[in-house]
Amino acid sequence: MLNPIKGFLVEYALSLPPLVLAFDFNPQSLTRNRSITLTLGSTPATRGGYDFALPSETARVAQGVAVEPESFDLEILLDATDRMNDNDALANSLGIQPELDTLRSMVEPKTQGPGGLQVLASLGFGGARAFQRSQTASVLLLVWGSHVLPVFLKGIEVAESAHLPTLVPYRATVKLSLQVIEGNNPFYAVEKVRQVVGAALNTGRTAVSAIGGLF
């Protein structure tokens, strides 16, 4: 079995307290989703697009097509067993509750407090309802391996599977739903460069293989 690497969710903000979640990350499956939306309206289009014959006409063919941002669905395991076996006082008393509280704080609305620091709206700087005009969602960095992606945490699903005698959980499977923040930010720009390089390497390898097959 491969040893899991560490993954991180880091809040990219002046926040109080700073939010960081570390977890073992070696999933058997990770779902990445990207789709396009067709909006042809009343244009004189054919079914699904426009007529074309030459490659130079593809820009016109794709009118009315919008690319949706990429999203991730992944599953992580939070487990304090090893730390409990090492007599970690925090794990023995609180299990993984601090990690679950961190995730909840990442998905709850923030408001700008004194000195520009972002704090939970529920601490009294905001209104009674979630995400009012002065409140924002956390911008997070999903870090694993060579990837650093800016994301919004859209949803959390926690399945607790083991508890201390106090009913505090010390093991849980957590499903995270994340949406990549695409645009002019340095993290996404680096990811796009990595993607272009990877695609070029694949194209070159395929071309060499195809040419080799002709001889």
> Nearest Cα to 74, choosing from 179, 174, 182, 187?
174
Decide if 75 contacts 173 (C-beta within 8 A): yes
Write down the pLDDT at residue 1.
Answer: 45
Question: Which tokens sit at 173?
Answer: 């499977």
- Residue 133: predicted pLDDT: 65
Q: What is the mean pLDDT of the chain?
A: 84
The CB density around residue 36, as the number of other CB atoms within 10 Å, is 9
Question: Which two three-digit tokens encode residue 24?
Answer: 């073992």
Question: DSSP secondary-structure letter at 139?
Answer: P
pLDDT of residue 149: 93
Helix %, strand %, coil % of the chain (to 5) = 30, 35, 35
| Alpha-carbon span 118 to 125, nearest angstrom | 10
- DSSP H helices, 69-182, are 81-85, 89-94, 97-107
pTM (two decimals): 0.79
Read off the tokens for 163.
């508890």
- Other CB atoms within 10 A of residue 47 CB: 5
Per-residue pLDDT of the chain (215 residues; tens, 9 = 90+): 456 688 999 999 887 777 999 998 877 678 889 888 877 665 666 666 677 888 888 777 777 788 889 998 999 999 999 999 999 999 999 999 999 999 998 998 888 777 777 777 777 654 555 556 678 888 999 998 888 999 999 999 999 999 999 999 999 999 999 999 998 899 999 999 998 999 999 998 877 776 766 66
